[in-house]
Amino acid sequence: MKPALKIITYLSLVLFILTSISCSSSEKNTTSNSLPKSIPFQLKLKSIPKELKGEMISISLKFYFCPVPTDKECYSPVLQQSHRFNHPIHSSADQITFVEEFPKEWTHLSIQIEGIEKIYGKYSPGHNPFWIQNTESLTKNPNIKQEFTFVSQENLIPNRKQEELANQFSPILVFHKDKKYLPTNIEKYANFFQSKEYTLPAKDIRRKTKGQTRWNYVDFPDLKETEKQTHLYYHVRYAKSTVSGTQETALPGFRDNGNYWYEVGNGDMVISYWIWSDWNEGPTKFGNIHQGDLESYALLISKDGKPKRILLTGHDHILLDTDFRNINSLKNHPILYVAKGNMGSDGGNPTSAYGGYTVKLHAGNALFNYISDPWDVFPSFHPETSILILPKNLTEKDLTSVKIGSGIRKSPLVPSLNSSQNGSEEDTRFVDARSMVKGRIERLVAWEEPGWVGQTADKDPDGHHKVDPKLSSFFRYQGRLGKHPRSDLRIGELHQYGESPENAPFKTNIEQHYTFESPKTERSHTDREGNYGPKFLGDDSTPQK
């Protein structure tokens, strides 16, 4: 081919490619901007609670341009409009229709009912706000219809059944013998309950999503040396539960922990537990010190009461999510190990389903990390080095021969574990634990739905929501429990103060419990040396009857 002809051919090819790209781009732009300028809305309210009769309700529309939802700078609406119902609510159903002009560029639209504060935490209208994305399906059908159906947020599982299940699966807690801060109870602080406010950190996403600049905390007095009985807090609910803001179409950070609803689904249930400690000293003497601590775990239970999976959380992560047969238990009570720290520290109290191992942590500061070398140090199940806090229904006879290990002759290896941790028969041992008993879980406390505390029930099968007066303030409270509401690095003291815990049961951690997130296969926090994942794989013979 002659040079001139080659040049003409290449130029033609380049021109063809550029034309194709231009056409493709034009098509995409046409698609994204092919919505009509105005779109009709038809929004219905159903099963409106009687508390809202006579209230003036409005609809808030917020348009966002967020091509990359993780970019916090896009969280300011590009357009905001409000439409008020032209009459007070007067029946159990109502609707509003209007036509709205859309901005030229947008990716997400939130539709929120406003003026329903009276029933917040008692009745949920579903996802509020309800989210819509600018997709091709909207272009094909340019009108928006949505029904907001109010449902009671009461727990439909009878109290007696909840208490029975909570007792059946309460934990056997294992501690180092010299552990200082053993679990106690929240009730002893009832007379000191006083809510205060603190300024949210600049990076807190609630500043962007909700316009919040301040949040709540309770400043408890220093350690009380009396009333140290161990109480265990629990909540039993159907596994098919949803929290507003967890739609796939929603922008991250709009989760509303006070707006949730339950469905029976396949009948599976979740038991969530919280263990309260008065103090968290952190994994070393230098770091993560804070008042108050709520460590938690949850069990997925079949409708006939059989344990299926266990989930443990800590350090703002899911530490373990695994089959119940992959841990040791005694008469359905999971054996959980509570960590101490390194260099003489009492530890940060995270729980593990396995003992006798360590996990390297990060101090959050290079200097502190180098000086302190923080670790979670989990105790072994051994009479000479560890102590137990037990459920009340376990007897001395039950403790004469406690199985530790999978009990399987040829247990499958867990990836990344060496042969000494594979749960084979030679690694399984039976321990006489009678001398290890330090105390008992004196009381199990059901965590009541905050919006219904002390009120006559609507749908609840027990007909009431009676609550111990010492607990009612805590059940209603949204905020942090302790005098350290935010992280505080004090170089002069060589101390890192962490955050006191968010109040249970509706923590802000998006993956806190099975309750609001579907269980997943074998997930654990594994990005640290000595990860929290399974140390053996069990079978039906592993749980000890």
pLDDT in tens, 390-412: 999 999 999 999 999 999 876 55
DSSP assignments along 471-511, one per residue: HHHHHH--SEESS--S-EEETTTTEEE-PPPBPSSS-S-TT
- pLDDT on residue 410: 62
The predicted model gives 33-38 an average pLDDT of 75
Helix H or strand E segment including 248: none
CA angle 464, 512, 403 (to 5 degrees): 95
Tally of CA atoms within 13 A in the half-sphere of 37 that contains its CB: 0
Pairing of strands 214-218, 429-431: unpaired
* Whether the predicted pLDDT of 365 surpasses 90: no
Identify the bridge partners of residue 330 per DSSP, sorted by sequence position. 333, 544
Within 337-496, residue ranges assigned H as helices are: 366-372, 469-476
- The pair of structure tokens assigned to 59 is 């609809």
- pLDDT on residue 378: 97
The 10s digit of each residue's pLDDT in 116-159 is 999 999 999 999 999 999 998 888 888 999 999 999 999 989 99
Q: Which of 167-176, 290-299, 357-366, 473-482 has the lowest average pLDDT?
A: 357-366
Label residue 227 by pLDDT band (50, 70, 90). Answer: confident
Cα–Cα distances in Å, from 317 out to 10, 356, 450, 506, 532?
A: 56, 21, 25, 15, 11
Q: Tell me which residue of 75, 318, 110, 319 sits closest to 203, measured CA to CA.
A: 75
The predicted model gives 170-185 an average pLDDT of 96
pTM, two decimals, is: 0.88
The predicted model gives 290-295 an average pLDDT of 92
User: Cα–Cα distance between 149 and 49 in angstroms, integer?
Assistant: 10
Contact (CB, 8 A) for 180 and 344: no
* Whether the predicted pLDDT of 286 surpasses 90: no
User: Cα–Cα distance between 169 and 171 in angstroms, integer?
Assistant: 6
Q: Report the share of the chain in percent with pLDDT over 90.
A: 62
Mean pLDDT of the chain: 86
- Return phi, psi of residue 235, to 5°: -150, 125
Contact (CB, 8 A) for 296 and 190: no
Helix H or strand E segment including 241: strand 240-244
The 10s digit of each residue's pLDDT in 485-502 is 998 888 777 788 889 998
Contact (CB, 8 A) for 200 and 207: yes
